[in-house]
Amino acid sequence: MAPITDSYGSRRDRDAAIITRKEPVVYSDLDGVEDVDMRSKLEYFKVNGYVVIEDLFTEDEVELLRSEVQSLAEKDEIKGLDETVLEPGSNNVSSIFKVHTISETVDHLARDERLLNMARSILGSDVYLHQSRANLKPGFREKEFYWHSDFETWHVEDGMPRMRAASCSVLLTDNNETNGPLMVMPGSQSYFISCVGETPNASYKKSTKKQKYGVPDDDSLRFLAEQCGIKPVIAKAGSVVFFDCNTMHGSNSNISPLPRSNLFFAYNSIKNAIKEPKYGLTPRPEYVATREPFNALRARQSDGLA
Amino acid sequence: MAPITDSYGSRRDRDAAIITRKEPVVYSDLDGVEDVDMRSKLEYFKVNGYVVIEDLFTEDEVELLRSEVQSLAEKDEIKGLDETVLEPGSNNVSSIFKVHTISETVDHLARDERLLNMARSILGSDVYLHQSRANLKPGFREKEFYWHSDFETWHVEDGMPRMRAASCSVLLTDNNETNGPLMVMPGSQSYFISCVGETPNASYKKSTKKQKYGVPDDDSLRFLAEQCGIKPVIAKAGSVVFFDCNTMHGSNSNISPLPRSNLFFAYNSIKNAIKEPKYGLTPRPEYVATREPFNALRARQSDGLA
């Protein structure tokens, strides 16, 4: 059994529950933020649990990142890595985990001041990368990704103590209304949905393709959708979406011929380093959830990504 | 082998092909249409292969239709019919075929002048119902419906000679950008995509749940999407979408908690009555493709649906 002190118990043998968030959403003191643009983004994030920063990267930078990801995905030695997820029944790469340790360009991106300043401002501290990932989605037969809170998984499976992490998606292709864009429930970061059912060990192997545990129940989702609405994130390549670790999000399938790809970084506060997984679960591999060392990311001047 | 005179051969053992449409899209003489609003709708339909008529039915009418469909879907005797498709692994009704012969209200709707005038004007003749269907989609775990042309199926599996039929969807719930709305490729009605592969007999049993044959290839879809773009049909309950039998359409999954339901009518010109299926296929059942009698639908004055 989980200790009684766990504010965010989930996947235990009991009914679903909606639990009020205990922590701040933005950890910086907003009154102390002098940059007007940054402050307005943080205020939006605080209320909505996400923010879109349009055209944060130039077309040339996007092209550099896209070709870097494409070239990684074509290498046989990358396809053979544990870090790499192939599409079911094909030899095509759909995700590469811990990609910032494989590609210097992606490492530069993760430490680019444009991203790092935002992550630090949200989390009010130095940050480290809990997870990084390149995602390639070719369109046509791309399945939905069901509603989930990243924090629910990170809390239960990785032992992340508190809601003090932010996910960041750097769009390498346009997200429009027909190619299965990210959908968020604005404001849902304030509600923790405790999920029904227990997690068998090693669920991560499947959950990176399709979430199977930590699935919110219909009544809670209906409640959240009524409270918060559902917002598709429509944005051009080069835009960046930050969303709170507990924001309810998902995406519909993509039958359009328009591919989608992105680079995903999960920034965690160094004050929120992960501990043991809950309920005696075996820790997930290092490339899914970094355990050590929890060194603060060092910023890199924005003189490009190369 | 299909006779050499078939303009729209498909599913034969050869590569995919894109064939130019041989027939008109709108069969009425547009210059002779005096009603300005009708004429503008027909002109839009001619170019785009679909048209949305917003708020064609009142809220009260929608409520009547929605409760009629809901009450049919709850009846055990309806669930037991061949005409009824249940969701896989559940006892919930997802479609009821030939629903206009089961429900007087739906029969009234199919013959309502608001629909019938449009169908007749598009097809330039009297019309009959090739197929009718009530569709109930509860949201949450509703899968995508892949790209297809209705005519491809109707031509091959039902022996429909020419492109002189129009599909009509009466929306009983709002279609918004997050609940997997109908998507069309505007202008695609002018291209027939000949599909690869042969059709085994009795494919209809599966294809009503998920299209498995008559699936367009990736290159043709990419060509069409580049030529035509992809348009999600966003409209309120009570709105009606007419689309040409050859318009490429589909829908993404719906993970939102927002259900979708509609009443679907396939109006065919009485001059285009179906013949034998192609390639010696066994005719699909009467409730999927009416064979006789091909009697023209008689209009019903618009004094409501009750």
Q: To the nearest 10°, the Cα dihedral for B59, B254, B234, B109?
A: -40
Binary contact (B255, A225; C-beta < 8 A):
no
Binary contact (B140, A225; C-beta < 8 A):
no
Query: Can you give the pLDDT at residue B209?
Result: 45
Chain B residues with beta carbon closer than 8 angstroms to that of A218: 140, 257
| A165, pLDDT greater than 70 | yes
3-state secondary structure A172-211: CCCECCCCCCEEECCCHHHEEEECECCCCCCCHHHHCCCC
State how far residue A232 is from chain B, nearest Cα, in angstroms. 7
Tokens of A80: 């053979």
Q: Does A29 touch chain B (CB under 8 A)?
A: no
Q: Rounded mean pLDDT of A156-182?
A: 96
Q: Rounded mean pLDDT of A52-81?
A: 96
Q: How much of chain A, in percent, has pLDDT values that exceed 70?
A: 92
**Per-residue pLDDT band at A170 (split at 50, 70, 90):** very high
State how far residue B252 is from chain A, nearest Cα, in angstroms. 5
Of A140, A218, A251, which has the smallest distance from its Cβ to B257's Cβ?
Answer: A218
State how far residue B4 is from chain A, nearest Cα, in angstroms. 32
Q: Are B290 and B204 in contact (CB under 8 A)?
A: no
d(CA A265, CA A99): 10
What pLDDT digit, counting tens, does each position of A105-150 carry?
999 999 999 999 999 999 999 999 999 999 998 899 989 999 999 9
| A172, pLDDT greater than 90 | yes
| A83, pLDDT greater than 60 | yes
Least CA distance to B182: which residue of chain A? A178
Q: Rounded mean pLDDT of B89-98?
A: 92
**Per-residue pLDDT band at A11 (split at 50, 70, 90):** confident
Alpha carbon B198 to its chain's center: 23
d(CA A292, CA A158): 13
* Pairing, β B84-86 against β B191-194: unpaired
Mutate to test the interface with A, among B252, B254, B258, B260 (most CBs of A within 10 A): B252
| B283, pLDDT greater than 80 | yes
Among the ranges given (A35-44, A57-66, A294-303, B263-272), the one the predictor scored with the smallest mean pLDDT: A294-303
3-state secondary structure A14-40: CCCEEEECCCCCCCCCHHHCCCHHHHH
Query: Can you give the pLDDT at residue B2?
Result: 47
Query: Can you give the pLDDT at residue B172?
Result: 98
Count of CB contacts below 8 A, A vs B? 66
| A2, pLDDT greater than 50 | no
- Mean pLDDT over the full length of chain B: 91
Among the ranges given (A189-198, A257-266, B49-58, B143-152), the one the predictor scored with the smallest mean pLDDT: A189-198
**Per-residue pLDDT band at B89 (split at 50, 70, 90):** confident
State how far residue A146 is from chain B, nearest Cα, in angstroms. 7
Whether the CA torsion B94, B96, B102, B108 is positive or negative: it is positive
Least CA distance to A181: which residue of chain B? B178
Whether the CA torsion A16, A22, A26, A31 is positive or negative: it is positive
Question: Which residues does B25 contact at the CB level (< 8 Å), separation at least 6?
Answer: B45, B46, B49, B122, B163, B189, B190, B244
B214: left (phi over 0), alpha (psi -120 to 50) or beta: left
Chain B residues with beta carbon closer than 8 angstroms to that of A221: 140, 257
Q: Does B33 touch chain A (CB under 8 A)?
A: no
Q: Does A227 touch chain B (CB under 8 A)?
A: no
State how far residue A251 is from chain B, nearest Cα, in angstroms. 8
Query: Can you give the pLDDT at residue B8?
Result: 86
Chain A residues with beta carbon closer than 8 angstroms to that of B219: none
**Per-residue pLDDT band at A213 (split at 50, 70, 90):** confident
Query: Can you give the pLDDT at residue B39?
Result: 97
Chain B residues with beta carbon closer than 8 angstroms to that of A178: 183, 230-232, 252
3-state helix, strand, coil split of chain B in percent (to 5) is 30, 25, 45
**Per-residue pLDDT band at B211 (split at 50, 70, 90):** very low
**Structural domains present in chain A:** 17-280 (2.60.120.620)
Q: Rounded mean pLDDT of B58-65?
A: 97
| A211, pLDDT greater than 50 | no
Q: Does A186 touch chain B (CB under 8 A)?
A: no
Q: Which amino acid is at B304?
A: G
- A266 backbone dihedrals φ, ψ, rounded to 5°: -105, 105
In a 10 Å sphere around its CB, with 0-12 CB exposed, 13-18 middle and 19+ buried, how is residue A240 labelled? buried
Query: Can you give the pLDDT at residue B210?
Result: 44
What pLDDT digit, counting tens, does each position of B215-239 carry?
899 999 999 999 999 999 999 999 9
Binary contact (B178, A183; C-beta < 8 A):
yes
Query: Can you give the pLDDT at residue A296?
Result: 93
B218 versus A212: the higher-pLDDT residue is: B218
| A190, pLDDT greater than 90 | yes
Chain B residues with beta carbon closer than 8 angstroms to that of A144: 144, 252-253, 255
pTM of the shown model: 0.90
**Per-residue pLDDT band at B54 (split at 50, 70, 90):** very high
Q: Does B216 touch chain A (CB under 8 A)?
A: no
Chain A residues with beta carbon closer than 8 angstroms to that of B144: 144, 252-253, 255
Q: Rounded mean pLDDT of A155-172?
A: 97
Chain B residues with beta carbon closer than 8 angstroms to that of A225: 256-258
d(CA B52, CA B152): 23
In a 10 Å sphere around its CB, with 0-12 CB exposed, 13-18 middle and 19+ buried, how is residue B86 labelled? middle
- Mean pLDDT over the full length of chain A: 91
Q: Which of B100, B163, B110 is nearest to B118 (CA)?
A: B110
Angle at A173 between CA A169 and CA A177, to 5 degrees: 90
Query: Can you give the pLDDT at residue B75?
Result: 96
Binary contact (B252, A254; C-beta < 8 A):
yes
Query: Can you give the pLDDT at residue A210?
Result: 44
Chain A residues with beta carbon closer than 8 angstroms to that of B185: none
